[in-house]
Amino acid sequence: MGTLIYMGTGFEFDDRTLAHLKVAITAKLRRGESFLLGWSARPGEGAGRVSLWLSPEIPLVYRFADPDPVELNRRWLAALTHSAMSATGMTVIDEAEANDGPGGSRTSASPH
C-alpha cells in the first residue's frame, strides 16, 4: 500500500492507484488548477466519503511501498483527469471502471 500524505495526514491507496493519482493530480497542479479529490471510505475506515481540496500551494507527498514504477493505463489517467473537471472533482475510480468506458481497451503510458 502506498500513501498520499496531505497536510500531515496519510491516506492509503494501493501503489497502482496511487501512481495514476500522482500523474493525474500533478498534471492539474502544474497548470495551477485547484480541485477536489474524492473517494469512498473503505469499510475499515468507517462509512462515507473523503474529499480533499488540492491546490498548488499545498504540498503533497506520494510514498510508494514498491520501489519499482508501474506501467500506466492511459484510459484510467484520462478518466481521472476528466472527472476533475466536474463539480464534484476528481473521483478515485478503479482501473476496471475506467477500462469499461467507451472503447474498453487498455493502452499504457510510460511509467512515472
Q: For residues 64 and 15, what is the distance between their CA atoms, to the nearest angstrom?
A: 6
SS3 of residue 43 by DSSP: helix
Residue 24 reports pLDDT greater than 90: yes
Q: For residues 104 and 106, what is the distance between their CA atoms, to the nearest angstrom?
A: 7
Whole-model pTM?
A: 0.85
Q: For residues 73 and 82, what is the distance between their CA atoms, to the nearest angstrom?
A: 14
Q: 53-110, pLDDT tens digit by residue?
A: 999 999 999 999 999 999 999 999 999 999 999 999 999 999 999 988 654 444 444 3
Q: 26-49, pLDDT tens digit by residue?
A: 999 999 999 999 999 877 767 789
For the chain, which residues make up each domain, given as ranges?
2-100
- Count the Cβ atoms, other than its own, within 10 Å of residue 101: 13
- The pLDDT, as a whole number, for residue 9 is 94
